[in-house]
Structure 1
Amino acid sequence: RGMKVMDAEGCSVLLVDEKEKKLQFVAASGAKKEEVKKLSLNMGEGVAGWVAQNDQPLLIDDVSKDDRFSKKIDETLTQKTKSLICVPLKVKERTIGVMEVMNKRGDRTFTERDMVLFKPLSAQAAVAIERAKLYEDLEDMYISTVKSLAAAIDAKDPYTRGHSERVTRFAMLIAKELGLDDKTQRDVQLCGLLHDVGKIGVPISVLRKKDKLTDEDWKHIRRHPVLGAEIISPIAQLKELIPNIRHHHERYDGKGYPDKLKGEDIPLISRILAVADTFDALTSERPYRSGLADKAALEEMEVVKGTQLDPACVEVFVTGYRKGFIMREE
């Protein structure tokens, strides 16, 4: 929007990294996101660094005549800056970064009128960025809370310590390999962490039992997906995840629990979790058996694809493992 309003060839946004004491590029026109993430300036470095450090806007007609201009960014992004306007991004008198536009179209130079026009744009951008950052911080806090809950659940059974985190990691990699969108990948992350939340309602004596489980024990175990769905149901933000939690122990052939769903009637996220959960279960130590080596576990999963597990999810997982994308230990 800044480029269009200012009739400029380029625009970039840099935010202050308080920890590193640097300006980190978060957006630059014409540059790939991966490239932008690698770019940063020290406070005071270049025009952007000077503006952030001195909290003053700058309008420069010819950057080649200004000692504050750094060629580093132009060289990295293979562009040529001739003129620019750079202004601080401020929220409640606090500078959170800078925003700049480069090269007025038509081989013209920026004017003071352009500066007057650009300042309100940057103020709007600063507010939007601060709101987005607040949302991101809340999201991080939310995920951390869910991770703590998952760790508390896993701690009920010393043999499953770290299980939810591992299942989440495997499931996220499957989701990524399947090309699922960002929102669905986030749902996979939350479901991976929460898939066993229902074990809160399973007696510790059953979870820690070293002997073979009795039919009564299995009744408790098989209730945990239903309990998990009930536990998260009052939380509005998690309502759409309920089916994924409830059905993560369904089998592809319809012989699973609790509802004996079959094939693609089972939610995709549940099918992904089933593959991730199975791999971790097969490769983890149990009181009554040793964990399988990764290769043996993958062979076992190949045998049960189409009966216990979704064949497509198994294929993606096995392929990802062989490519080195999926590892049991981080």
Structure 2
Amino acid sequence: MTIDLLAKPPSARTGSQHLRELEDALGTHFDTWVKVGDQWECRSADYDYKDLSHELIYAACSAVWNTRRPVVKELEVGVTLVAFPWKDSATRSTQVLATIIASASSKLLLFALNQTLKAEQQQEELEGLRDENLAFLRQVTEDFEELTFLRSMAEQLTLENSSQGLNHLTNYTLSLLGQLVGIEQLYYLENVKGKSHVSAVWNEFEETTNSLSNWQIESVVDGFSGQLNGKPLVRNKVKPLELGNGIRTIKELIIVPVSTTRTRIGWLVAINRKKNNTENRAEPKWNLSQNELGSRETSLLTTAAAMLGSHSNNLALFDEREKLLVNVVRTLVSAIDSRDPYTCGHSERVALYAKRLASEIGLSDEACEKIYLTGLLHDLGKIGIQDSVLKKDGPLTPKEYAEIQQHPDFGWSILQDLEQFNYVLPGVLHHHERYDGQGYPDQLHGDETPLEGRLLAVVDAFDAMTSTRTYRPSMPLEKAINILAEGAGTQWDSDIVDAFLRVMPEIQEIRDSYRRPPLPKRTQHATSSLVETTTEVPVAV
């Protein structure tokens, strides 16, 4: 049998450098054979082996396939069939490369093939190690970013920031989480008394027009509610029919419930994995797909949901604590007011005036609430003043006046050990200081007196002047206003007096509409909350 060798120019193959070098050295190129079922098919366009039997090439391909080793078969003197296994770089599948070449030495040819395969294997292992190193680097980077995220969240959850509402933390969380998780859109669907609305949105794209509407997010959560059962839901390759309502943009989805110890308060909804330039790169076998949402994203969202739920729970506890403190304050104020019917309601009115005045001079809502509680407690020290002095219907003697002047110190002494009430101490202690330094207890001048003290001094004096006392009737409003104006800069801070006069119509409305809440009437006896237990005494037999 005589084999006609066809001249095969070097191919334009874009694969391995080692394979191209081998083809250049041999002056030919290799045909690609793939196994389809039990048959072999050649995928090379210029395949033509002339007189060579197909059974012979099929047998060579099968031998390579079974042993994963090269086959070098001399067909006749100077003509050799070469076949060897090769892994396609794109599909990662094993193929067989084959050709017929002129060769004087089969051993030398086999050696060249083995060296090429060995070099290719080493190159593949190096690339695999490189990919693994890059994957490990990404993992370390992600771990560091996650730690940074958790640290940032922890800082937001400190007691110092407890005054910040849930909306603030939610927006802060979504801005961090959106980029860290690597998703296109992130929503917080808030649930308030059974009604849901989107209260926070993070969008990878600057155009917010890409964001889904409130009803679309609500319908997505409702559509999967039967599968949630209080646990995170992860869906990749979401089908449009699962969503309904014409939503076609959702491909990947994570829904994580946000709950407190008492109730469900909302859901975090992550939509679509962010596309990046690494999606088409070969990944290590153990690495997750770049096109799917998985355990890492779910874990981060679950952690964020737990923190939001915990913060919401803490806010509720803080709110209950504040209500308890206010009720305690009101109880203390009632104890003071009950001693003198003529000063009944004075502390409450002073607190209301002070809150409005604090708002007028630009203090925050939180500061206004603190001023309100300070106003309620400003005369707490009078509980230490004798009734004969406190209720006296005539002029006070110097000794009695000196006793009255002790009530700021008495109030400070009562409250100073209560850490929760520390912020009221400046106002309680210094609401009788004068701007000219002639007040008490410390004769402070000007701005040496804390702002709370200067503010309360104005509203306290106004309520005292416009209220009836045992020793005089209430003063006309116009006269009280004139006295405040005349005392601005000497007895009181002129800026605060000016601000108070600006809101005088509202102050009048507060004064005219104020009614002290009636004491509750008891309708039944109190029952014990303690549970009695009985211990059985053993009986001697």
Bin for the TM-score computed over the shorter chain? 0.7 to 0.9
Superposition pairs of residues 227-238 of structure 1, within 5 angstroms: 227-238=410-421
Q: Percent identity?
A: 34
Contact 1:23–1:97, Cα closer than 8 Å, also in 2: no
Q: CA RMSD in A?
A: 3.7
Cα deviation code 1:140-160 (max 9, x no counterpart)? 212221122122112211111
Superposition pairs of residues 118-129 of structure 1, within 5 angstroms: 118-129=301-312
Superposition pairs of residues 1-330 of structure 1, within 5 angstroms: 1=173, 2-6=177-181, 7-12=183-188, 14-16=190-192, 21-23=193-195, 27-29=199-201, 51=225, 55=230, 66=243, 85-92=254-261, 94-101=262-269, 104=272, 111=293, 114-115=297-298, 117-182=300-365, 184-239=367-422, 241-322=424-505, 327-328=510-511, 329-330=513-514
Give, in angstroms, the shift of residue 117 of structure 1.
Answer: 4.5
- The SS at the match of 2:263 is strand
Distance in 1 between residues matched to 2:395 and 2:426, nearest whole Å: 30
**Closer, same or farther in 2 for the Cα pair 1:8/1:288, shift >3 Å?**
farther
Distance in 2 between residues matched to 1:320 and 1:269, nearest whole Å: 18
- TM-score normalized by structure 2? 0.48
Query: What one-letter code is carried by the residue in structure 2 that aligns with 1:11?
Result: Y
Give, in angstroms, the shift of residue 98 of structure 1.
Answer: 1.1
Give, in angstroms, the shift of residue 199 of structure 1.
Answer: 0.3
Distance in 1 between residues matched to 2:200 and 2:507, nearest whole Å: 32
**Closer, same or farther in 2 for the Cα pair 1:47/1:203, shift >3 Å?**
farther
Distance in 2 between residues matched to 1:63 and 1:319, nearest whole Å: 61
Cα deviation code 1:237-296 (max 9, x no counterpart)? 334543332211011111111221111111111001111111211221222322234444
Contact 1:82–1:102, Cα closer than 8 Å, also in 2: no
Give, in angstroms, the shift of residue 195 of structure 1.
Answer: 0.8
Give, in angstroms, the shift of residue 172 of structure 1.
Answer: 1.4
Give, in angstroms, the shift of residue 11 of structure 1.
Answer: 2.9
Give, in angstroms, the shift of residue 312 of structure 1.
Answer: 0.9
Query: What one-letter code is carried by the residue in structure 2 that aligns with 1:171?
Result: A
Query: What one-letter code is carried by the residue in structure 2 that aligns with 1:210?
Result: D
**Closer, same or farther in 2 for the Cα pair 1:185/1:137, shift >3 Å?**
same
Distance in 2 between residues matched to 1:63 and 1:159, nearest whole Å: 73
Larger RCO, structure (CA 8 Å, separation 6 or more): 1
- The SS at the match of 2:503 is helix
- The SS at the match of 1:145 is helix
Contact 1:251–1:307, Cα closer than 8 Å, also in 2: yes
- The SS at the match of 2:178 is helix
Cα deviation code 1:149-200 (max 9, x no counterpart)? 1221122111111211211111112222222245543432332121101101
Question: How many residues are matched?
Answer: 302
Distance in 1 between residues matched to 2:394 and 2:233, nearest whole Å: 74
Contact 1:3–1:11, Cα closer than 8 Å, also in 2: no
Deviates more, 1:116-125 or 1:259-268: 116-125
- The SS at the match of 1:101 is strand
- The SS at the match of 2:510 is coil
Distance in 2 between residues matched to 1:281 and 1:25, nearest whole Å: 49
Distance in 1 between residues matched to 2:221 and 2:384, nearest whole Å: 56
Deviates more, 1:301-310 or 1:81-90: 81-90
- TM-score normalized by structure 1? 0.75
Instruction: Extract unaligned runs of 5+ from structure 1.
Output: 31-40, 70-79
- The SS at the match of 2:301 is helix
Query: What one-letter code is carried by the residue in structure 2 that aligns with 1:22?
Result: G
**Closer, same or farther in 2 for the Cα pair 1:246/1:190, shift >3 Å?**
same
**Closer, same or farther in 2 for the Cα pair 1:88/1:248, shift >3 Å?**
same
Contact 2:437–2:446, Cα closer than 8 Å, also in 1: yes
Instruction: Extract unaligned runs of 5+ from structure 2.
Output: 1-172, 203-213, 277-290, 515-541
**Closer, same or farther in 2 for the Cα pair 1:324/1:270, shift >3 Å?**
closer
- The SS at the match of 1:327 is helix
Distance in 1 between residues matched to 2:222 and 2:474, nearest whole Å: 54
Distance in 1 between residues matched to 2:376 and 2:398, nearest whole Å: 28
Distance in 2 between residues matched to 1:258 and 1:54, nearest whole Å: 63
Distance in 2 between residues matched to 1:151 and 1:177, nearest whole Å: 28
Distance in 2 between residues matched to 1:46 and 1:110, nearest whole Å: 22
- The SS at the match of 1:100 is strand
**Closer, same or farther in 2 for the Cα pair 1:325/1:46, shift >3 Å?**
farther
Q: Which has the larger radius of gyration?
A: 2
Query: What one-letter code is carried by the residue in structure 2 that aligns with 1:245?
Result: V
- The SS at the match of 2:474 is coil
